A and B are shown apart, each in its own frame.
Chain A
Amino acid sequence: MSGISTLLREYDVLGAFWVTIQLTLWGALGALLLGTVVAVCRVSPVGVLQRAGTWFVTLVRNTPLTLIVALCALGVSNTLKISLAPPDSPTFIVDNGFRWGVVALAVYHASFVAEALRSGINTVPTGQAEAARSIGLGFGATLRHVVLPQAFRGAIAPLGNTLIALTKNTTVVATVGVAEAAYLMRNMIEFNPSLLYFIFIVMAAGFVVLTLPVGLLFTWLSNRLAVRR
Chain B
Amino acid sequence: MGARGTEPATADATPVVVLTGVNKHFGTLHVLNDINLAVGKGEVVVVLGPSGSGKSTLCRAVNRLETIDSGTIAIDGVPLPEEGKALAHLRADVGMVFQSFNLFAHKTVLDNVTLGPIKVRGLTPPEAEKKATDLLDRVGVADQAGKYPAQLSGGQQQRVAIARALAMDPKLMLFDEPTSALDPEMINEVLDVMVALAGAGMTMIVVTHEMGFARKAADRVVFMAAGQIVEENSPEEFFTHPQTDRAKDFLSKILTH
Contact = CB atoms under 8 A, between A and B. Distances in A.
A127 B94 CA distance: 16
Given A127-B98, A228-B148, A134 B91 contact: yes
B100 A145 contact: no
A9 interface: no
Given A145-B115, A146-B104, A150-B106, A136 B92 contact: yes
B102 A128 contact: yes
A229 B150 contact: yes
Interface residues of B, number: 31
A226 B53 CA distance: 38
B196 interface: no
Q: Is the interface of B mostly helix, strand, loop or mixed?
A: mixed
Given A130-B98, A131-B98, A228-B150, A136 B105 contact: no
Q: Is the interface of A mostly helix, strand, loop or mixed?
A: helix
Nearest to A225: B106
Interface string B74-93: 00000000001100110111
A125 B101 CA distance: 12
B105 A135 contact: no
Given A145-B119, A228-B151, 4 more contacts: A125-B102, A131-B102, A131-B104, A136-B120
Interface of B: 63, 65, 84-85, 88-89, 91-96, 98, 100, 102-106, 115-116, 119-120, 148, 150-151, 161, 164-165, 167-168
Interface of A: 125, 127-128, 130-138, 141, 145-146, 149-150, 153, 227-229
The 4 closest A-B pairs by CB, nearest first: A136-B92, A135-B116, A228-B150, A131-B102
